[in-house]
Structure 1
């Protein structure tokens, strides 16, 4: 019997549902209970012991073959439609399956029932009762098979259709593909509904045992405990009756036998007048109810039947919970996408899906689409066999629901192995080398390209050159690196790779590209620099930096803006050469300082129309000679340009000094990407000085401090503190912060912030101590507006916003110098804001408010590319809000920051902050000084940080 149950579950599992196996058992249980009730009505009594011995033989002989045959026929009808334009409903599929198999199943049922009725007529005690019961079990099983079980099959088909519906929201499917640790952890937790159901079942069993409804501790003879009321036998009336009975017994013929008398309490009858006008109906009702209750009491008291009733209750609860929660189950995770359905000829109509190369990574899930093997029909015609073979070559033998609404861009960067067979290395190599139009790299799948790379046929760094498709090369490289790594996460990571012009990257900016990094870009200002209002782009992930710089811009604008000057402009390169002895090295140095200077300059200038050698500085270190070339490079940063000129100059110099040996084209005498005193003293790149005078009332109202405090802090911190630390070029508060953010936004070399951020900030009290004089001196800002990262679209757009993109049409070098001026002025604004916050003691408070604000965690689509960046701010009540730029007085229910700028004739500056009921902050900024400011909404992007109602100095950065 147990093997029959195991075989039943295995067969149903092959079809694809353990749920249906349980339904078949429930169908049999209902048939058994109905048959038991029926034979009881016929007056046939079956012993529970007989049932326990005979039922296993019935299960073994009959089994569960008929429900399995019907289920298989229905699923076959579902998977193989006759008409390619026909969309079958669940009812139609059920009707088709039942029509095919019902005659055979019903015939077998009645044959078995006939045999059992013969046994029922045999008259053999025990066999007669069992055959009578078994015949009715099969009869009810047949009835329930085509009613109850077919209804369950219909429901199953409807649920499968709901799960596999291609019109469902595809967003939920891609959320299931992300490796979200929170979702994985939640999936591991037990379902609370299951836990409650288990508790309910346990409690039910305990209650049934306590109430004596179901127990195995006694037989049916003592199923229900009986209690009798006690009677007082010493009562005179009872005593007299007992004595009379005893006398009669002694006088009788059986006086030698003992006498046992059972005394019960008296039954009292009271006559009550009936108030019911229709006693016949009431009596009939009570009689029916009494029969039903007695029947229920009989079954409940039986120790065997009560167990079956309890089991049926448990199965019913489980089935109801499953069906009620079926619609809550997650949608199926699709294993493959990009499916094209192909229908064969009318003689061999089969649904053949075609899989594209771009497919999703496989995921383990209980809801993975079940594989259905395509049943090949017999083909008599050889030609039709060949045509079908060709059509199936491009497909796989699986039936997968097509997806119509899939976003192809979202899955373009994911690769897994194709289901179709990967060709051999030799075949793939021949296709790769082929020059035919239909062959070459485009004829190979991504997996075949990966196979060639892994076997050394294609170099990983040369994928772009070999494939001719840069985005595909990046995608394949990601797959190679991901599969070779320990974590294997790169292939499906959130690093974007689509919608990017890799042609500008290859050979210029980066190698072995696997994607691109997204960094938020903020804007500070506008800042009045040399009479021009300029918005300053800053790419950073550090909170408060942009806001702090913007506050400094506001203070500088109130003082008339910033003035800048360029003191030097010359990129440097310092090669190292060696001579046999110090005498020859000194001779070479002397030659360079005198007649050799013009010779070297002529050779250097011949290498470029922009590179013009300005001076040569040579110094000895033993027999080593270090030569520092300084040259203008136009609007380019100029490292490649000057390296080419140095190489040409050294070759000319070797003609005059044959014993000279070139050690290195770069001898760290430049000095590049390292902090060095020579850069501080001699300068490198653009040497810039910025200046501004801040009125005393602006220092108090905007910066929330005093001129005296700022001067004292600057001396103690930037001068004495830096000297105590032995700083080299670091006599500032945080110049590197602003400079690096602008470098990243404008495509400069971020590594050059080491020497470029050398800065000394000087503050002095002027005009009898009322106003603040502020300067920033930066001797080595290394920037360019052409070449390098400036050729990229995003970085180039920021240069275009500043008005310095590309080469200056008239005066080479002007754009690069202007960019250096902007950087120096922006650094001065950042220095002013931070020092003011330190002087006022607001540094820690502002960082706790901004950098450690609890932001709601957002899930980002790993395939999204470009999204607008929103800068988090806080209003005067500390509520979190997102800053949106508004040009009109529109109001929103959410926390928005509205900036309204009004220029009055007296050019005065007022800050009136009002907190409205809808949690909006309206900052009416009116200029309060004899200067002009911008009416742009971005000019006070941090008005919440600089207004009088806000925390003084709350937006700073260090």
Structure 2
């Protein structure tokens, strides 16, 4: 039923897309009307969210199709302004669906909060005192996050880290890591509150001065893994993708662009679901440097006739709290995705990032990225050139034809094609 209804989705007009999503139960009639009306109109919500409000900045929102993750079909909302991201994700997911599978799993549950003593007067003595009072400090922190404890989460552990100040002195920096299971929330505010609540106790126990209390976005204790397998792949294509992947592993210049492409997919889903994409980006980029050199967060290998891709990254997301509860479009996105936990949402996000990467590497190792991207970008160029509703399609077609001939198109090309179209139309009318 799902596959049948989603077949040919990209060829449908807007109203037909709404109808398909209604039939699948991905949208309700009231949600369709909300989207048709242009989304949020009430400026009061913006007044409650940010400061010095003057209006809304809206992003296009679409859906990626053909995704089956861990045996479950998904319609994936994506909010993004860049052409071809959603199309590439859908096309690549269709390829994987026909020849392989996508699986995900969670590697750890705890987020990290940091309590910093900038200059420990006696590092070893302070460390011993903190560890001696470890259970007491954890219990105190859990009094601050009682709601998490009631749902099976809360502060689980703490450890003491020693850092060189790198300022030429022999002083040591002492950092306490607080490990907390946030359940279905991102947990940023909760872990910050827990750390700040412990500050006076840490100072009393150690006699030291606590400086910063803040969460960390490098959450290597709460990772998500996505794996894509494609069976019976053409050997030349598989080897080409493996080599493209190797480039991003050994060269940080290539890795930066590779990871940006992964985040094209990740960010779009996070935004559509009201999650903090900036926090996830910070975590992904910092995790990419864990070896001491910035490198790809994905890796593809050809194993016989099977291409296997893997992504591991800290993807901390929430299905409760924050914007997810007050932003109607975020609520719509989460309902459409139909995830039942933050862990499942993180898996979907990771899968989209890995699929996005596969689509890019496939293009790079075959026809290049220009042809596919610019073909879809022709519409944007036509609009930027000033094409009206009746002019858009013919200008777009001429731009695509030009791209096929010369392998590149520019805004100047679009302006010239539009001018020619208008001149020809005027001559016909005369």
Q: Which residue of 1 aligns with 2:73?
A: 533
Higher relative contact order (CA 8 A, sep 6+): 2
Structure 1 residue 516: Cα displacement: 1.2
Residue 211 of structure 2 aligns to a residue whose secondary structure is strand
1:507-528 CA-partner distances (Å, limit 9, x unpaired): 4x31222111111012112311
Q: Which residue of 1 aligns with 2:4?
A: none
Q: Distance in 2 between matches of 1:732 and 1:514?
A: 33
Q: Which residue of 1 aligns with 2:98?
A: 558
Q: Distance in 2 between matches of 1:619 and 1:838?
A: 43
User: 8 Å contact 2:104–2:351 — kept in the other structure?
Assistant: yes
User: 8 Å contact 2:40–2:328 — kept in the other structure?
Assistant: no
Equivalent in 175, 182, 186 of residue 626 of structure 1: 175
Equivalent in 344, 351, 366 of residue 825 of structure 1: 351
Q: Higher strand proportion, which one?
A: 2
Q: Which residue of 2 aligns with 1:739?
A: 266
**Do structure 1's residue 706 and structure 2's residue 237 form an aligned pair?**
yes
Residue 537 of structure 1 aligns to a residue whose secondary structure is strand
Residue 851 of structure 1 aligns to a residue whose secondary structure is helix
Residue 133 of structure 2 aligns to a residue whose secondary structure is helix
**Do structure 1's residue 762 and structure 2's residue 299 form an aligned pair?**
yes
Compute the RMSD of aligned alpha carbons: 3.3
User: 8 Å contact 1:735–1:757 — kept in the other structure?
Assistant: no
**Do structure 1's residue 641 and structure 2's residue 175 form an aligned pair?**
no
Structure 1 residue 595: Cα displacement: 2.2
Q: TM-score, normalised by structure 2?
A: 0.70
Equivalent in 310, 317, 322 of residue 775 of structure 1: 310
User: 8 Å contact 2:74–2:337 — kept in the other structure?
Assistant: yes
Q: Which residue of 1 aligns with 2:127?
A: 589
Structure 1 residue 876: Cα displacement: 12
Q: Which residue of 1 aligns with 2:24?
A: none
Equivalent in 197, 209, 218 of residue 661 of structure 1: 209
Q: Which residue of 2 aligns with 1:837?
A: 363
Q: Higher helix proportion, which one?
A: 2
User: 8 Å contact 1:497–1:514 — kept in the other structure?
Assistant: no
User: 8 Å contact 1:530–1:564 — kept in the other structure?
Assistant: yes
Q: Distance in 1 between matches of 2:179 and 2:272?
A: 27
Residue 606 of structure 1 aligns to a residue whose secondary structure is helix
Q: Which structure 2 residue ranges, 5 or more long, are not aligned?
A: 1-37, 164-170, 286-295, 403-430
Residue 523 of structure 1 aligns to a residue whose secondary structure is strand
Structure 1 residue 823: Cα displacement: 0.5
Instruction: Pick the structure with greater CA Rg.
Output: 1
Structure 1 residue 721: Cα displacement: 2.0
Structure 1 residue 878: Cα displacement: 4.4
- List aligned pairs for 1:70-109, cutoff 5 A: none
User: 8 Å contact 2:258–2:357 — kept in the other structure?
Assistant: no
Residues 664 and 733 (structure 1), Cα distance of their counterparts in 2 relative to 1, 3 Å cut: closer
Residue 800 of structure 1 aligns to a residue whose secondary structure is helix
Residue 536 of structure 1 aligns to a residue whose secondary structure is strand
Q: Distance in 1 between matches of 2:281 and 2:195?
A: 23
Structure 1 residue 559: Cα displacement: 2.9
**Do structure 1's residue 803 and structure 2's residue 338 form an aligned pair?**
yes
**Do structure 1's residue 848 and structure 2's residue 374 form an aligned pair?**
yes
Structure 1 residue 620: Cα displacement: 2.9
Deviating beyond 3 angstroms after TM superposition, the runs of 4 or more aligned structure 1 residues are 729-733, 756-759, 856-860, 874-880
Structure 1 residue 733: Cα displacement: 6.5
Q: Distance in 2 between matches of 1:878 and 1:802?
A: 34
Structure 1 residue 826: Cα displacement: 0.6
Residue 706 of structure 1 aligns to a residue whose secondary structure is helix
1:336-383 CA-partner distances (Å, limit 9, x unpaired): xxxxxxxxxxxxxxxxxxxxxxxxxxxxxxxxxxxxxxxxxxxxxxxx
Structure 1 residue 506: Cα displacement: 4.5
Q: Which residue of 1 aligns with 2:83?
A: 543
Q: Distance in 2 between matches of 1:691 and 1:789?
A: 30
Residue 101 of structure 2 aligns to a residue whose secondary structure is coil
Q: Which residue of 1 aligns with 2:157?
A: 615
Q: Which residue of 2 aligns with 1:690?
A: 226
User: 8 Å contact 1:607–1:648 — kept in the other structure?
Assistant: yes
Q: Which structure 1 residue ranges, 5 or more long, are not aligned?
A: 1-495, 673-678, 809-814, 861-869, 881-958
**Do structure 1's residue 606 and structure 2's residue 143 form an aligned pair?**
yes
1:100-124 CA-partner distances (Å, limit 9, x unpaired): xxxxxxxxxxxxxxxxxxxxxxxxx
Structure 1 residue 578: Cα displacement: 4.5
Residue 693 of structure 1 aligns to a residue whose secondary structure is strand
**Do structure 1's residue 518 and structure 2's residue 58 form an aligned pair?**
yes
Residue 663 of structure 1 aligns to a residue whose secondary structure is coil
Structure 1 residue 732: Cα displacement: 4.3
User: 8 Å contact 1:539–1:741 — kept in the other structure?
Assistant: yes
Residue 734 of structure 1 aligns to a residue whose secondary structure is helix
User: 8 Å contact 1:693–1:773 — kept in the other structure?
Assistant: yes
User: 8 Å contact 1:572–1:630 — kept in the other structure?
Assistant: yes
Q: Distance in 2 between matches of 1:498 and 1:824?
A: 28
Structure 1 residue 879: Cα displacement: 7.4
Structure 1 residue 760: Cα displacement: 2.0
- List aligned pairs for 1:313-462, cutoff 5 A: none
Q: Distance in 2 between matches of 1:502 and 1:776?
A: 40
Structure 1 residue 577: Cα displacement: 2.3
Q: Distance in 1 between matches of 2:40 and 2:334?
A: 24
Residue 845 of structure 1 aligns to a residue whose secondary structure is helix
Residue 554 of structure 1 aligns to a residue whose secondary structure is helix
User: 8 Å contact 2:186–2:316 — kept in the other structure?
Assistant: yes
Q: Distance in 2 between matches of 1:852 and 1:876?
A: 9
1:281-317 CA-partner distances (Å, limit 9, x unpaired): xxxxxxxxxxxxxxxxxxxxxxxxxxxxxxxxxxxxx
